[in-house]
Structure 1
Amino acid sequence: MAGDDRFAVDARGLRDARPAATSSEVITGPVTDWATDFSHVDPEWAADPYPIQDDLRRRCPIAHTERFGGAWLPTRYEDVAAVAYDTERFTSRAVVVSNFRPSPDVAPSGLTPPITSDPPFHHDARKLLLPPFTKSAVKRLEPATRAYCHALIDAMDGRDVVDAAKDYAQHIPVRVIADMLGFPPEDGPRFREFVENVLESVNLSPDERVERMDPLFEYLLEQIHDHVDNPRDDLTTYLLNAELGGEKLSATHVSGMMALLLIAGIDTTWSAIGASLWHLAKTPADRERLVAEPGLLPTAIEELLRAYAPVTMARLVRKDMRWRGVDMKADDWVLLSFPAANRDPAVFDRADEVVIDREVNRHAAFGLGIHRCVGSHLARMELRVALEVWLERIPSFTLADPAAVTWSVGQVRGPRTVPVRVG
């Protein structure tokens, strides 16, 4: 691949090659009415969105806000599923709500394919990513993941209070994704900065948000150039060699796909592991049962994913329309709250309870429709191994200070600090 001219571009050139975006006014301040002025970056939502979702589901199942240039929030499972499956009236060209929207010219691939891709382009773009994320491929990653989890706990030795999020949960997907992509493991702190810039800074002005994205693409191009010069057996080299329609992928396609894997692959699993440990720390009966019955863990994991689903996706409305009793405008955002869908009592018995031996559990934590998470096998493996190792090594732990637990804002929600007392 030496001399590959697809990547003879810097990060700014890569960004400037993308079609222009439309921007909207930045609206800040506290929410006045969740039915008409919701904000998924409001501190109240970050702290505990479930009572808000329950209230909206009862009195206003499709909430609206003028923030972010106009957005809708369905809270019933059937409405979330209807949007997720409807690729004719809703486009995926942007899936992270912010104050600007990419031009329709980015379709059908979008900026981070395949999650931002529409049919028919989506099918082949997604198919490219399937081989590295099969069950058999993921199984090969398990021994190294397990060894790393043990190493993280070894580093906590002698401490009475540790942070289950900062000292443990956040590091696991960082290491796994870095290894898969062939990135230096010591770059982990930079990955967490990229996550914050992409997912937690969505209410900045368009210029500020674009500026914050530059370091991510500078880093990705640096890694791409290194892999062009020094090919090896990893996911980055796989993408550089991949073809779509008989041609190798463009620079924007490769960098966009890598950005997706890096950001989505870290924050979602970090959040799921952290939320699971938070629940077990505050629920002794569930923790004690899983320690006594380790065979129940796979079933419990599905329930923890349902109850604390970290991911909310987004779509854009294609054209003005009346949909399920509301008037949606072209380019309105629609937030697909899989967490809200997972707690809909019309679909799940005892929806607001965590039932770790729930037998029937068709949750939507990994999404619905054509964009269902391609990395679900990887996420399940990381979550299972992280909990197996923790419960084996630290079977007794409780929240050291419930008030000190903090949660991320935005479309991926998970605990950022979980101080627990061990032993």
Structure 2
Amino acid sequence: MTVDDRFNEQGFEDGLRDRSLGARSEVITGPVLDWATDFSHAEPEWAADPYPIQDDLRQRCPIAHTERFGGGWLPTRYEDVAAIAYDTERFSSRSIIVSNVRPPRELAPVGAVPPISSDPPFHHDARKLLLPVFTKTAVATRERATRAFCHSLIDALEGQDVVDAARDYAQHIPMRVIADMLGFPPEDGPQFREFVENALEGVDLPPEERVTRVEKLFTYLLAQIRDHVDHPRDDLTTYLINAELYGRKLEPSHVAGTMSLLLIAGIDTTWSAIGASLWHLARTPSDRERLVAEPGLLPTAMEELLRAYAPVTMARLVRDDMHWRGVDMKADDWILLSFPAANRDPAQFDLADEVVIDREVNRHAAFGLGIHRCVGSHLARMELRVALEVWLERVPAFSLEDPAAVTWSTGQVRGPRTLPLRVG
């Protein structure tokens, strides 16, 4: 089989460029004097510890505003976050990453990375294509290989008194799982990290530079697609190439967009969740010791760690000028939809600011709310559970080597990027 005509290089790349550019470029970084009127999630103090900021806003200004990004809003109450997440009439998902560029309205209802960037009615059908791949049954077939890989990572750490659990453990697990699912070479992992950082950080860069970074990702994806067209195999990339929607095969931008979503979101979110969980256990000996003694408690504890350290904040765009819950929103204002803030709302959770590893009732929003709730939640839970099971089995005693040396990612996915632990 020759290369599918859908993936003609020039047409493919021109289409990606058209979808990447937008309007209203704005500078968004710089010191914040008042988070209620000038918030920016791209600042180092937000990355280091956003929870006191969110708690303060929830009490005195539950829907904060900023002129950065060309105008945006930050709801901090669970009820407001949920209301926006479920309201697809007034809030569009055509762009889920706040940056200095807004994609054109014509991009809806598909968006650049369907289905998470898609609006109804297209969203329902695009999401339905992925559901069979991410069922509990399908995910369970990957557990054995994931567990073996986690053991191999810890084998490589033997003899070290101090290890970086984020760099040398957490990040590699979702990289390997997603590479296997998509049929990508596992040795390409370092490139995946670059793609993640390009997509989710550096949101204040000039539009042309962000487009250049995006093009590096899609150049890689195009090469993988072409290889799969010429050499089909049983993996998710071949599945997407052959999938049909409305009686015809998917557009190239749909195929590549969904692949980029799975690659970026599938890696960074789980990497962050594993790292944050290990960070908590390293600084909380009582919780660590209890889980080592009671491994059956881990699934419950894992949900609490997801609630307390939810890694993901999504974005929406206001469709039209409107007055909403006491504030005047303008068309194309950003909404920073903070699931981490919602998860720490005391109106929704008892002891919301505490980590209670045996919390029984825990309807957290770590995987989102509404139609865009994470399609890969079963996969993420499996990876997190296996990563923690193997680590606690092999490394039952560990602590922070230097709390000040822990660094956190900046932007809408938050997790440790360096996590030095003393083991033994």
**What is the aligned partner in structure 2 of residue 218 from structure 1?**
219
State the one-letter code of the partner of 2:295: P
**What is the aligned partner in structure 1 of residue 369 from structure 2?**
368
State the one-letter code of the partner of 1:150: H
State the one-letter code of the partner of 2:5: D
**What is the aligned partner in structure 2 of residue 304 from structure 1?**
305
Partner Cα separation in structure 1 for residue 28 and residue 226 of structure 2? 39
Aligned-pair CA distance for 1:13: 2.3
State the one-letter code of the partner of 2:185: P
Q: Does 1:381 align with 2:382?
A: yes
**What is the aligned partner in structure 2 of residue 12 from structure 1?**
13
Aligned-pair CA distance for 1:211: 1.4
**What is the aligned partner in structure 2 of residue 92 from structure 1?**
93
Partner Cα separation in structure 2 for residue 3 and residue 190 of structure 1? 24
CA deviation digits over 1:338-378, x for unaligned, max 9?
00000000010000000000000000000000000000000
State the one-letter code of the partner of 1:57: R
Partner Cα separation in structure 2 for residue 366 and residue 157 of structure 1? 34
Contact 2:154 2:169 in 1 (8 A): yes
**What is the aligned partner in structure 2 of residue 47 from structure 1?**
48
Contact 1:19 1:105 in 2 (8 A): no
The count of corresponding residues between Structure 1 and Structure 2 is 423
Contact 1:91 1:317 in 2 (8 A): yes
**What is the aligned partner in structure 2 of residue 390 from structure 1?**
391
Partner Cα separation in structure 1 for residue 148 and residue 35 of structure 2? 45
**What is the aligned partner in structure 2 of residue 106 from structure 1?**
107
Q: Secondary structure at the match of 2:421?
A: strand
**What is the aligned partner in structure 2 of residue 68 from structure 1?**
69
CA deviation digits over 1:149-203, x for unaligned, max 9?
0000000000000011001000000000000000000000000000000001111
Partner Cα separation in structure 2 for residue 25 and residue 352 of structure 1? 34
Q: Secondary structure at the match of 2:45?
A: helix
State the one-letter code of the partner of 1:301: M
Partner Cα separation in structure 2 for residue 166 and residue 70 of structure 1? 35
Q: Secondary structure at the match of 1:398?
A: strand
- With the length of structure 2 as denominator, give the TM-score of the two structures: 0.99
Aligned-pair CA distance for 1:408: 0.2
Q: Does 1:278 align with 2:273?
A: no
Q: Secondary structure at the match of 2:323?
A: strand
Partner Cα separation in structure 2 for residue 397 and residue 368 of structure 1? 34
Aligned-pair CA distance for 1:18: 2.9
Aligned-pair CA distance for 1:21: 1.1
Identity of paired residues, percent? 79
CA deviation digits over 1:290-341, x for unaligned, max 9?
0000000000000000000000000000000000000000000001100000
Partner Cα separation in structure 2 for residue 173 and residue 7 of structure 1? 28
- With the length of structure 1 as denominator, give the TM-score of the two structures: 0.99
Partner Cα separation in structure 2 for residue 27 and residue 151 of structure 1? 42
Contact 2:312 2:413 in 1 (8 A): yes
**What is the aligned partner in structure 1 of residue 36 from structure 2?**
35
**What is the aligned partner in structure 2 of residue 331 from structure 1?**
332
Aligned-pair CA distance for 1:208: 1.6
State the one-letter code of the partner of 2:9: V
Q: Secondary structure at the match of 1:172?
A: helix
Partner Cα separation in structure 1 for residue 249 and residue 108 of structure 2? 19
Aligned-pair CA distance for 1:17: 4.3
Distance 1:394 1:79, change over 3 A: same
Partner Cα separation in structure 2 for residue 365 and residue 241 of structure 1? 32
State the one-letter code of the partner of 2:4: D
Q: Where in structure 2 are the equivalents of 1:187-198 lying within 5 Å?
A: 187-198=188-199
Partner Cα separation in structure 1 for residue 422 and residue 35 of structure 2? 36
Q: Where in structure 2 are the equivalents of 1:393-404 lying within 5 Å?
A: 393-404=394-405
Partner Cα separation in structure 1 for residue 6 and residue 390 of structure 2? 43
**What is the aligned partner in structure 1 of residue 418 from structure 2?**
417
**What is the aligned partner in structure 1 of residue 119 from structure 2?**
118
Aligned-pair CA distance for 1:19: 7.4
Aligned-pair CA distance for 1:12: 3.4
Partner Cα separation in structure 1 for residue 226 and residue 285 of structure 2? 50
Distance 1:210 1:23, change over 3 A: farther
CA deviation digits over 1:194-224, x for unaligned, max 9?
0000001111121221111110000000000
Contact 2:302 2:385 in 1 (8 A): yes
**What is the aligned partner in structure 1 of residue 350 from structure 2?**
349
State the one-letter code of the partner of 1:32: L
Q: Secondary structure at the match of 1:73?
A: strand
Partner Cα separation in structure 1 for residue 250 and residue 156 of structure 2? 42
Contact 2:4 2:229 in 1 (8 A): yes
Aligned-pair CA distance for 1:119: 0.4
Aligned-pair CA distance for 1:27: 3.6
**What is the aligned partner in structure 2 of residue 175 from structure 1?**
176
Aligned-pair CA distance for 1:3: 3.5
Partner Cα separation in structure 1 for residue 355 and residue 20 of structure 2? 45
Partner Cα separation in structure 2 for residue 299 and residue 252 of structure 1? 39
Aligned-pair CA distance for 1:390: 0.2
**What is the aligned partner in structure 1 of residue 145 from structure 2?**
144
Contact 2:70 2:333 in 1 (8 A): yes
Aligned-pair CA distance for 1:2: 2.9
Partner Cα separation in structure 2 for residue 2 and residue 356 of structure 1? 54
Contact 2:29 2:43 in 1 (8 A): no
Q: Does 1:359 align with 2:363?
A: no
**What is the aligned partner in structure 1 of residue 237 from structure 2?**
236
Which runs of 5 or more residues in structure 2 are unaligned?
Answer: none
Q: Secondary structure at the match of 1:15?
A: helix
Distance 1:395 1:214, change over 3 A: same
Q: CA RMSD in A?
A: 0.9
CA deviation digits over 1:268-290, x for unaligned, max 9?
00000000000000000000000
Distance 1:266 1:407, change over 3 A: same
Which runs of 5 or more residues in structure 1 are unaligned?
Answer: none
State the one-letter code of the partner of 2:8: A
